Every structure is written in structure tokens, then in C-alpha cells.
Chains A and B, each alone.
Chain A
Amino acid sequence: MRETIIALLPILLPVFMGTILLFLKRLKERKVILFYTGTGLLLTGVLAWNVILNAKDQQVTLFWLTEQIPVMLKPDVLGKVFLMVVTVVWICTGFFSFSYMKHEKNERRYYGFFLITFGILMGLGQSGNLVTMYAFFEFMTLAAFPLVIHNQSREAVMAGLKYLIYSFFGAYMALFGLFFLCRYADTITFTPGGTLNAELIADHGQMLLIIAGLMILGFSVKAGMFPLHAWLPAAHPVAPAPASAALSGIIVKGGVFAILRVIFYLFGADFLRGTWVQTVFLVLSLLTVFMGSMLAFGEDILKKRLAYSTVSQLSYILFGIALLEPTAVCGSLLHLMGHALIKSTLFLCAGAVICRSGFTRVSELRGIGKRMPVTIWCFTIASLGLIGIPPTSGFISKWYLATGALDSGIAVFQYAGPVILIISALLTAGYLLPVTLKGFFPGELQQEAGHDTWKKCEGDRLMLIPLVILTALSVLLGMFPNSMLNYIDGMLSGIM
């Protein structure tokens, strides 16, 4: 019972509060809404940490959806990692949006869905079997939809629909696997090392590989892996900055998380290792890494550029997973966390810039550093992190990824992988640093421009504090990864 309550509270509370907020038509007073939301976020955060610290790794069956399928929660280590990331990023973006959303219309809806999504993510993290996860996955897509299309401009709605359709498509592809797993696996409850039933799958190996491939592909839609990444660069820019921060910080991670679950907790690494599925997965992820950074490099609109960078960065993680090799997976997990923090920082910075100066294109950002130093500093540090300069988190994760690739000893990839990673790291530097450089060193022609452009337009406290916190965390993660490493170590040994 205690376990149930612990596990359920962080899910139900925000969903409940959010729903209430949606229905409070009367509530016009902005301060009240903000206060309400803030408390909601913080409370949830507390409850989430409560889960992370106190919940034991055991199943909590809520009810039976059908004969074979219970809806169950099971906060294990991986889930908890996910919870941590979600909590931190979500609360920060939440508070950031308090000041960002000031001028947007119907905020109430925004915050309502923001809270609901928070709760659903809590569920996603804790979900204990495939169906539960699938359910929360779908809910997440739906609940995040209003965030994406918040300013209901035409392209926003179109992008939103694109996002919706792609996500459903992926989800259904994943669902395809569910039916087969119900047949060929002992259980669909996540168990480290996989649950496939040896004698059942005896002569259906190929078929199951196809299924596995489909499921991975399906979930990788959310993770924006080529070829189904198109929704991502469309959806991110149109959403309000905090929303896109949350999207590319967390929602897309949902896809990665699901893939982790599928591979290591259902099919099992051994089943996939060395099969064509793995090869395809590797090829696709590497392709995406490269392509994403190229596209980002060529993109001028800041948020779009960041979106493309998300595409490529996520595929780092996927690549790490695809190697099916402890070190690499460890790297992926680190990158998952790091990227969550960094990318949300970057997006929030972009948001601050847009909100304050109204510039959306990189080319316009000359001298922006003078005007909003803190923001751009955060941006710079985060960029460094993403590029992978020590001591930021990016370095550690990429290091692990590279070593993992080399250890894996998969014919081509053990070399191709690291090479491409480095190339793309250079590209990352190429597309992120200009902002900083232009920002701080506008060069000559900026001098001549009128003084008004030099006016300080730094964001207010509500904006800066979350930014700073996130940046600090990303750096900390880079400096002292050991605690985290120890934390996930047991899990890694469990699943391999």
C-alpha cells in the first residue's frame, strides 16, 4: 500500500491539479495561476524525489487491463534516473515560463497542460510493463500537444498535427510488437536482461527480429531518429521557448527511455547483439548524428538550429544504446541526462533572447552578449558542454560512448562511430559557438550602430535563476559524474 501511494502521488497530483486549473474558467488573476502552478511543480518535485529516494524496486499493480495485462508501476533505477532528469528540467522550465509566457494568450491552458504532462512523465518513468509505458507514452503525446501549438498560428497547428501523427505512427509501430511479445515472451513486465521465452521463439527468430526492429523504429520516432525525424524541427521552433525546451529536453527523451526499456528489459541485449537489427539501428543513428549536425550547421533560425542539434545529439544516445555494450550504454545514459540539462538551457536562452530582443535568427545576434551577458554566458557554457569540452558533462558522456564503441568490436562501427562522433562534435562547435562569438565580439560595424541597440535587455530573475541552475547542474554532472556512475552501475550490470 505504501509503495502504491508513493508511486501514485507524483502522477496523480499534477494531473489532478492541472485538470482543475483547466476548468477554473473564472480564474483570471495571473499571480494566482502562477502561484498555483509553482506550488504544483514544487510539490510534484518533492514527491518525485520521494520516489527516487524511498521507493523500493518492486511492482505495484494498479489494475488488470485485460487477463494478461496489468497496469503496473515499478520504479527501478532507470526509471528513477529518468525521474530525476524530468523533475529538474521540468521545474526549471516551468519557472522560466512564468516570465516568458507573460505576454502570451491563454496561459491558464498552458500551465494546466504543463502540469498534466509533468504527471504523465512521472508515470512514464515509473511504468513497470510495456502496456503501461505505451499508455503513458500516448498520453504524453496528447498532453504535450497543446504546448506545441500554443500560439495557434497556422504553421503551429500544422506542425502540431505533424507531431501528433508522427508520434502516433511510431507508437502504433511499437504497439505492433506488444501483441507478439504477449505471445512469445514470458511476461511483458520489464525485467533486466529480457523476457523472451527461449522455446517459444525457437523457430520464430527472424519474425521477432522484425518486430524488435519495428518497435525500436517506432519509439525512435519520438527520439527524432532518421528517417522519421521530420516532426522535430517543425514542432520545436513554433512552440513557445519553455515548451520547446521541455520538448527537446524531456519529451524526446521519452522515446529514448522507451527504446532502452524495449531493448534491455524486453528483448534483451543478447537477443539483438550481432543481428541485422543492430546494424540497421547503428547505421540509422550514425546517419542521424551526422545529418542532424549538418542541417543545424546550415540553419539560421536559432531555435530550428537547436532543434536539428537535438536530432543529432539524441542519435548519440541511440548510437550508444545500439552498441549494446555496457560502457556505451553508460555513456548514453550520461548523455541523456547531460543533453536534457544542456539542451533545455540552450532553448531557454534562445527563449530569453527572443523574448527580450525579439531576434530569432543567429545572424541578428551580433553583440547580444553585451546586452544580456548572463544568458549568453549560460548559452556558451551549455554549448561547450554539448560540444564536449572538459569538464562539462558532454565530455564524459562522449568519452564513454567512444570507448564503448571501440570496446564493442563491431566490425566497421567501432571505428566509424568515434570518427563520426568527433566530426559531429566539430560541427556542433561550428553551429553553436558563432552565437557566443558574435554575441560578445560583434566586431566593427556594430560600433557605428545607434546606442539604443546597446541597451541592456537582460531577463528578469525568474528567467535567469532557472538558467543558472540548469547550467550549473550540467557542469556539476560533468565534474562529478562518479556518483551518478555508481548509481547506474548496478543497473548496467543487471541488464547485460
Chain B
Amino acid sequence: MSEVMLFIIVLIPVLWSILIPMLPFKKRGHMMIFIEAIVLINSILVWLLLWNRPEGTFTLLRFTGHLSVTFRLDGMACVFAGLVSVLWPLATLYSFEYMKHEDHEKVFFMFYTMTYGVTLGIAMSGNILTMYFFYELLTLVTTPLVLHTLTREAILASRTYLYYSLGGAAFAFIGMIFVVVYGNSIDFIYGGVLHAGSYPGGDQVLLLIYVLAFMGFGVKAAICPFNSWLPKAGVAPTPVTALLHAVAVVKSGAFAIIRLTYYSFGVDFLRGTWAQYVVMGITMFTIIYGCSMAVKERHLKRRLAYSTISNLSYILFGVTIMTPLGLVGALAHLTAHAIMKICSFFCAGAVIYKTGRNYIYELDGFGRRMPKIFGIFTISAFALMGVPGLAGFISKYYLASAAVESGNALAYFGVGAILISAILTAIYMQTIVVRAFFPQAGFDYHTIDDVRDPNWMMVLPLTLFCIGMLAYGVYSKPLIDLFTKIAYGAF
């Protein structure tokens, strides 16, 4: 397929979605069909592209000098784009049901669909400048989604979100400048474009810059101490929280860091330097921190948000191991966590949607009343805990074994951190499950008679995710092979 397609699939959702508020839909159904059509068509296009991958690069426009906006579909891009394109249609389907009672949903869906394009843009961007560009854009198109409910809380949250993201971008910018000025090229090249001594001012500075840039992109990946925006952003409607703040946005942060580490600075240069230890330390701390906060938190969505924080740092930990195997682990968790977390979030969303209950202590006995939802939730909980046979175990296994392979002393502690966080995960997920299925003796089920399973629009995506988790857990070989190829730069 021709390279132009790379740009087109980014463009389609952005342009079509602008139509959404303009078109006068007679029935809500029409709008649903329209939107789902956009998303599905686009996803299909993406899959076609992945099927026969255009090798070349598509250059959209040039800024000063050799700075240009280019699109390219290399292995990493394939993974991220594939992930997003699979999740989006399902999430859209879900959100139709969820948003039924929310007002001005047209605007919501406009930005929701726009985000699809922008995320694809991040995935497909062929050089660091383009990625930075879409990265900023992502912040802008997602802010209205956080703002959507327009409560005071939401406004504050969206502000925090903006400050953090733009601020992070500002620091990422520094790193970008160095790649631009001192790199052999600004394109993403496996193994990096910078190397020891490529900055005349000394490598220490370069490492410092790397750490700064890591922090910068890390803001979106919610590394500690820049994570407070994520739980706050939970005020957004659940589809947003689930798809954007568990997958698209935060994963873009992780993705950007992978690009930065493996494709711009180059791991051979970073491995074994203090910079590596610093960033690895940060990720390890965040892993523990996120879990502990999750255990402490009593608000369902916020608890999941904290869990996201820690799980993202799993990915980053994999990245900071800075070996191909580490990257494999990171990618494995990137994909696995996407499915698991979106699944658990959608369950939470279903609960909120059907019953309006937000806090965990309100969930007594729900397991009996919404068996489908909580069955799936339980499975996702097990997956997050890393029970073998489910997705979580695979990714954790690869992360940990990569850490061991690397022979890096700090990485061993990382394994420890992962396991500790696993036990904490067990705590904060199981307490919910137990509460739902085994309320205390003499619990009166009539108090929650109103609680019912939602309709197919919500259950279908969840079921598919559930199957996905199982399949991933049982037969992950093809994916892992792909990741391995990518991680060794063969794809």
C-alpha cells in the first residue's frame, strides 16, 4: 500500500469527527451508526496497512532546516497502531451505551473520535518531531473529554491535566532538541541516533538531558511524582477514563519513552550509566507507590487509576532495563495491560452506569446481581494479579525474566518490586471481588434489586476483552515472536 495511506488513516477520524456535531441526525441511532462506521472503516484500513506494510516514509511538511513531519510504519508503530485500532471500535460501542444519558454527547464523540486519529498519529510518526507534535495535539483533543462533565471538579482536573501534560512536553522538548541538533538524523532508527561523544559538551550533559526528557514524556505515563493528574482525570466519563487514561494517552507516554530510549538516544549509550539507574529507580518506586495508593483508595475508578499508574511503570521498568528482552517485556505488558485495564474499567463503568455507585463499600453482593460484569471483572482482576493462564502472567514473566537476564543488580530489585506490587494488586482487586460475591452474612439482596447486568452493547466488548485476555495468556507465541523481532530491530 502507498505511504500516503499512513497519513490518511490519521486524517480520516479527525476530519469525519468534525462532521459529527454539524450533521443533523434524526435519531440517536443514526449518529451511532455514523460514528461506528468511521471508527470501523478506519480500523479496517489500519489492519490492511498492517497486513501489507508500506516500507517507505511519507513526508507531510517541512519546518525549518531538516525538521519535517513524516509518517512511517515500523514494528513499534505496528504494535501500537494495532492495539489502538482493535480497542477503539469496541470502546466506541461501549460508550454509545454509556453516554446515553449524558448531555452534549455529539461534542464528546467528536473529540473521542478525533483522539483516535491523533493516537494513530503518535503511533505512525516517523521522527521525534512528528511524535512531539502529535503528543501535544493529543493533550489538546483529550482535554475537552476530561472537561466533559463540566463540574467544578472536572474543570480543576482538566486544568491539572493540561498543566502537567504541557509541562511534561516542555521538558520532552529539551530532549527533542538534542536529538535534532546532535543526532545523526531525527528519524527513529533502531539503536538510536545519539552515541557517546556525539555531544561535544560531554556525555554527562547528554545523560542529564535524557533523564529530563524521560521525565517529560513520563508525565503522560504518570511516573511518580508527576502522576496526580491521572486519578483526578477520573472524573471524565468512564469510556474516556478507560480508553484514554488506561490505554491511549498513558500508553502514548510509554510509547514515546520507548521511542526516546531505543530509537533516539540508543540503549547502548545509556546502558549502565547513572541515567539508567535513576530512571529505573523512579519506575520501581512508582510501581510500589501506585499499588499502595490503590490499596488505600476507596473510590472504584480512582483505585483502578492508581493501579494504572503502577502498571504503566511496569512497562517503563521493562524499557529501562535497556535490553532487547526488556523491550519485549515492556511491549508485552503494554498490550496485556491495555486489555486488562480497559476491561476492568469498563466493568467499573457498567456499575456506575447501571447503579451510580462509585465507592467500593457500596458494592456488597453485586456479584449475585450482575454476574456477567463481575465475572469478567474477577477474571481481569486475576489477570492483573498475574495468575498463570491469563495475560498478566505472560507480561510479568517476560519483564521479570528480562530483568534477571540483564544481570543488572538494580533490576533484581525491580523483580522484587513487581512481586510486591503483585501482592498489593491481589489485595486491592480481591477485596472488591470478595465484597461483590461474598457479602457478609445476612446481607439483604433486596436492597440492590435495581442492580442488573447492562445490555449487549456493554457486555459484548467486555466478553471480547475477556476472551482476549485468556487467549493472550494461553497462546501468546505469535505476539511474543513479533515483539522479539521488533526488540532486536529485525522488524
Binding site for B on A (CB under 8 A): 63-67, 69, 131, 134-135, 138-139, 142, 145-146, 149, 151-154, 156-157, 160-161, 164-165, 168-169, 172-173, 175-176, 178-180, 182-183, 207
Contact = CB atoms under 8 A, between A and B. Distances in A.
B434 interface: yes
A204 to B, nearest CB: 9
Nearest to A218: B419
Interface in B392-432: 393-394, 397-398, 400-401, 403-405, 412, 415-416, 419-420, 422-423, 426-427, 430-431
A165 B427 contact: yes
B438 A152 contact: yes
Interface stretch (B210-218, B277-285, B347-355, B469-477): B469-477
Contacts of B474: 63, 65
A160 B480 contact: no
B401 A183 contact: yes
Contact of B434 (A160, A178, A183): A160
Contacts, number: 92
Nearest to A174: B419
B404 A179 contact: yes
Interface residues of B, number: 38
A172 B430 CA distance: 15
Nearest to A138: B387
Give 4 nearest A-B pairs by CB, closest first: A135-B388, A179-B400, A168-B426, A172-B419
20 contacts: A63-B475, A65-B393, A65-B394, A66-B398, A67-B480, A69-B397, A135-B389, A139-B387, A149-B438, A152-B440, A153-B441, A154-B441, A157-B434, A160-B434, A168-B385, A172-B422, A175-B386, A176-B415, A183-B401, A183-B404
A78 B443 CA distance: 45
B144 interface: no
Nearest to B409: A207
Task: State the majority secondary structure of interface residues on A.
Answer: helix
Contacts of A145: 434
Nearest to A207: B412
A164 B397 contact: no
A172 B385 CA distance: 10
B439 interface: yes
Contacts of A151: 441
Contacts of A131: 388
A142 B434 CA distance: 11
A153 B426 contact: no
Nearest to A132: B388
Contacts of B475: 63-64
A154 B364 CA distance: 13
Contact of A164 (B400, B430, B480): B430
Nearest to B437: A146
Nearest to B420: A172
A180 B388 contact: no
Contacts of B441: 151-154, 156
Contacts of B438: 146, 149, 152, 157, 160
Contacts of A69: 397
Nearest to B435: A157
B388 A66 contact: no
Contacts of A138: 387-388
Contacts of B382: 142
B477 A179 contact: no
A160 B415 CA distance: 27
A176 B394 contact: no
A146 B437 CA distance: 10
Given A66-B398, A138-B387, A152-B440, A161 B430 contact: yes
Nearest to A62: B474
Nearest to A150: B438
B403 A179 contact: yes
Contacts of B398: 66
